[in-house]
Structure 1
Amino acid sequence: MIDRPAELSIILSQAVELDPGALHGVLGIFTDIDDTLTAEGRLDPPAAAALAELQAAGVPVIAVTGRPLGWCVPHLGIWPLAAMVAENGGVALIPDGDGARIEYAQSAAERAANALRLRATAERVLRELPGTALARDSDGRVTDIAVDHSEFTRLDEASIAAVVRLMQEEGLTATVSSIHVNGWIGGHSKLTAAQWMLRRLYGRELAPEIGRWAYVGDSTNDQQMFAACPLSVGVANLRRFAAQLRTWPRFITAGERGAGFAEVARAVLAGR
């Protein structure tokens, strides 16, 4: 836990502390889930407490994750989030009374056509790349596929790169999270998800106020958001991907996973 925003992080390329005024007036937080809010697949207690504090202060938190729709549905009613966007921008869950409204980035016809290509690609991965396995949460996926590399199955860097190449050969967008290689068809992404949710929830465009939204992540698939958001933050376990990162966040926390997210939350609250 921190007492002031300047203690939030150390910039990797230069040991420069965050200006306490940099988080003044932050409107909300976009965040990854796995290994950012969670540890070992479960909501990390420091992150749980931080989410509750942010909600109480009226600071919306929107999660954008590679996890599937089926995985996210039971969590939205428990975690204090303004919305969850699953499958890297493919499908959104928006609180609606005691339940959630499910909305898609693509039409039903597009999803049906894409499902055939996604299934064929998944079969090719398993057939041509020995040792690969689909993510155990694959049954809950509706707009993408995921190959496990660190959650239950261990793949080395060369194998992960081979999965990415194969997905790209099949015309998929492929990204690597802290646990999975995700592949999907279409132009959606974590950035389009952030734009979609700001428009959907609040009727506003992200571009004019992107400097007032923080983004928190932990892996190479967060690089687009690190580049887009001036207040981008990596939790400390991001360093695991140092060799693969081409775009670093502006800041990195002292703590890992939920403890790092809690640092961001306290900095945002202090800045308000």
Structure 2
Amino acid sequence: MRPLSSCSREEWRAVSGVLTDIDDTLTDDGALPPAALDALHRLQAARIPVIAITGRPAGWSEPFAISWPVQGIVAENGGVLLHREGEHLRTEFTQPDEMRAANAERLHRCAADILARVPGATLARDSAGRLTDIAIDHSEFSTLSDEAIAVVCDLMRSHGLTATVSSIHINGWIGHHSKWTAAHWAVQRLTGQAFDPAQWVYVGDSTNDQLMFERVPLSVGVANVRRFLPMLAHLPAYVTEGERGVGFAEVAVAMLAARDR
């Protein structure tokens, strides 16, 4: 990873939009700090689209899809897209209703198995708002060891789920969607243009961002990504000086400065 300050003006001018994770990338302890909110407003004023892609549930994401200056939020690691249409919030899914209903039963069985077999495992407190996945808390309100996290991932996969680890949760879902497919879906749906990874910067902080770190040329990790370096097969191209929302603000400042020169 190179310091973000070494990213060239030419690299910045090649991108026209921002894709970002939310937890511990935009937010700090679950709240959006002033620096990050100001950065989002400045990007909006410059007509630079921002799309957030998160493992958080649809229910948790709804108020932010309405109130934050973003084009939309893809929740549940690509399962649900929330965006404004006029004064209303529109919710779209990657899977049809019948498939989601069948998957819900499998997800429930998997969650019950994990809670019964992994000491200390608890469902994420935002689980009531989840529509297409399950989440086990490992760092938000309770703590699981690295060994326990690995066991949870293995159990999810044994039930046929895709499993990823964010900075706070272990997420499991049924299907082939991901943050990568979410980028294609959301960019096409919200901008009317096909997703070209060379035209977007991606900002993230943890292992569930590494598919984007691998495939988006201009990828940035906020400084707290260093916590996950031993678990990352693919690193972001650049890293900020600041952590979380302060680091995200660095990205916005650098992008806007390159345009102003």
TM-score by length of 1: 0.93
The count of aligned residue pairs is: 259
- Deviation of 1:99 after TM superposition, in Å, equals 2.2
Q: What's 2:116 paired with? A: 127
Q: 1:11 aligns with which of 2, 10, 22?
A: 2
Query: Is 1:180 the equivalent of 2:164?
Result: no
Q: 2:236 aligns with which of 240, 249, 254?
A: 249
Q: What's 2:257 paired with? A: 270
- Deviation of 1:266 after TM superposition, in Å, equals 0.9
- Deviation of 1:16 after TM superposition, in Å, equals 8.8
Given residue 11 of structure 1, which amino acid in structure 2 is its aligned partner? R
Q: What's 1:238 paired with? A: 225
Q: What's 1:3 paired with? A: none
- The residue matched to 1:243 in structure 2 has which SS? helix
- Deviation of 1:175 after TM superposition, in Å, equals 0.1
Q: What's 1:213 paired with? A: 200
Q: What's 1:105 paired with? A: 94
CA contact (8 A) 2:161 2:173 kept: yes
Q: What's 1:34 paired with? A: 23
Q: What's 1:5 paired with? A: none
Q: Report runs of 4+ in structure 1 exceeding 3 Å deviation.
A: none
- The residue matched to 2:231 in structure 1 has which SS? coil
Q: Which runs of no fewer than 5 residues in structure 1 stay unpaired?
A: 1-9
Distance of 2:14 and 2:28 partners within structure 1: 29
CA contact (8 A) 2:14 2:198 kept: no
When the two chains are superposed, the root-mean-square deviation of aligned CA atoms in Å is: 1.3
Q: What's 2:248 paired with? A: 261
Q: What's 2:211 paired with? A: 224
Structure 1, 96-105 or 85-94: larger mean CA deviation: 96-105
TM-score by length of 2: 0.97
CA contact (8 A) 1:129 1:163 kept: yes
Given residue 234 of structure 1, which amino acid in structure 2 is its aligned partner? G
- Deviation of 1:82 after TM superposition, in Å, equals 0.3
Query: Is 1:95 the equivalent of 2:87?
Result: no
- Deviation of 1:33 after TM superposition, in Å, equals 0.1
Given residue 266 of structure 1, which amino acid in structure 2 is its aligned partner? V
Q: What's 1:6 paired with? A: none
Q: Equivalent pairs: percent with the same residue? A: 55
CA contact (8 A) 2:66 2:83 kept: no
- The residue matched to 1:95 in structure 2 has which SS? strand
Q: Which runs of no fewer than 5 residues in structure 2 stay unpaired?
A: none
Judging changes above 3 Å, is the alpha-carbon distance between structure 1 residues 220 and 167 closer, same or farther for their aligned structure 2 residues?
A: same
